[in-house]
């Protein structure tokens, strides 16, 4: 099967790397950014282009959600399967006359961070069973966790991921702002962060909650509010409100 990856961002890079590491041939990596494509192409030894999209059986579109529809129009071939990697877009956002599908990897991808692909859950949707099988077989070569999904379910999987990953990471950024401003090394907090994440492998998140809000320690909450301003203060109040609502305090 001839496979082309479209895009040169985080997902395109890691998807291409996972395929190459598992001896899956890639016919091309295609995109608009010559410099980024060139770097990926050199590292992974895959042909690349910004102009001539090669003929393929499967095109995997890994571009920003806002551009998936526009980019999908560059594939004029009809007898092929096209997929995108977005968590929230429907497969029908793909605008050509080819067969449409979705292949969503539930992980956070950054180019500079190595990943173990074998445990990444992949969610597959397609128009027919044959295409579903093609994508599931392909994803199964790089991961042991490949599942069918629906757009309805995938939207909620993505939404959960935003809370569980993107928001949590933003809180790490805000936490680092606070520690940096006081010249407290952020390294001090890494064992705490690691334990917070490890703990929920064994205990329900709701049972694992600690801190002044769940203890309803009003004096400490007020003291903390006096130390904060702007967005961090708003986040602090919103989080405490949410915690106290959940525990009916």
**Which spans of this chain sit near ligand NAP (rule: CB under 6 A)?**
7-12, 31-33, 36, 62-65, 67, 70-71, 85-87, 105, 108-109
| CA–CA dist 168, 208 (Å, integer) | 15
Residue 135 CB, shortest distance to ligand NAP, in Å, is: 15
Element (H, E) at 81: strand 81-84
CB-closest chain residue to ligand NAP: 9
Which residues, at least 6 apart from 24, have a Cβ–Cβ distance to it below 8 Å? 3, 138, 141, 142
Q: Which is nearer to ligand NAP, 56 or 63 (CB)?
A: 63
Q: Which is nearer to ligand NAP, 108 or 216 (CB)?
A: 108
Residue 165 CB, shortest distance to ligand NAP, in Å, is: 8
Q: Which is nearer to ligand NAP, 7 or 139 (CB)?
A: 7
Residue 161 CB, shortest distance to ligand NAP, in Å, is: 8
For residue 133, count other CB atoms closer than 10 A to its CB: 12
In the block, which residue shows the tokens 């605008």? 95
| φ, ψ dihedrals at 82, nearest 5° | -120, 140
Residue 60 CB, shortest distance to ligand NAP, in Å, is: 10
Q: Which is nearer to ligand NAP, 65 or 195 (CB)?
A: 65
Sign of the alpha-carbon torsion through 134, 2, 66, 12: positive
Contact 45, 20 (CB under 8 A): yes
Is 150 in a helix, a strand, or coil?
coil
Q: Which is nearer to ligand NAP, 33 or 38 (CB)?
A: 33
Residue 34 CB, shortest distance to ligand NAP, in Å, is: 9
């Amino acid at each position: 099967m001839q496979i082309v990856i479209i895009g040169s961002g985080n997902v395109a890079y890691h998807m291409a790397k996972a395929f190459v590491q598992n001896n899956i041939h890639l016919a091309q990596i295609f995109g608009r950014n010559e410099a980024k494509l060139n770097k990926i192409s050199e590292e992974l030894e895959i042909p690349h282009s910004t102009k001539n999209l090669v003929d393929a059986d499967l095109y995997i579109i890994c571009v920003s959600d806002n551009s998936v529809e526009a980019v999908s129009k560059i594939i004029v071939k009809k007898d092929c399967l096209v997929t995108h990697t977005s968590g929230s877009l429907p497969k029908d956002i793909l605008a050509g006359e080819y067969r449409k599908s979705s292949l969503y990897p539930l992980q956070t991808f950054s180019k500079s961070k190595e990943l173990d692909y074998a445990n990444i859950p992949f969610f597959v949707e397609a128009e027919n069973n044959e295409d579903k099988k093609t994508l599931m077989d392909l994803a199964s070569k790089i991961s042991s966790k490949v599942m069918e999904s629906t757009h309805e379910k995938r939207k909620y999987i993505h939404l959960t991921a935003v809370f569980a990953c993107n928001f949590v990471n933003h809180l790490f950024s805000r936490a680092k702002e606070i520690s940096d401003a006081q010249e407290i090394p952020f390294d001090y907090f890494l064992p705490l962060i690691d334990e917070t994440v490890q703990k929920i492998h064994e205990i329900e998140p709701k049972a694992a909650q600690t801190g002044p809000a769940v203890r309803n320690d009003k004096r400490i909450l007020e003291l903390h509010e006096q130390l904060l301003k702007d967005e961090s203060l708003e986040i602090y109040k919103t989080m405490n409100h949410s915690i106290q609502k959940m525990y009916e305090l």
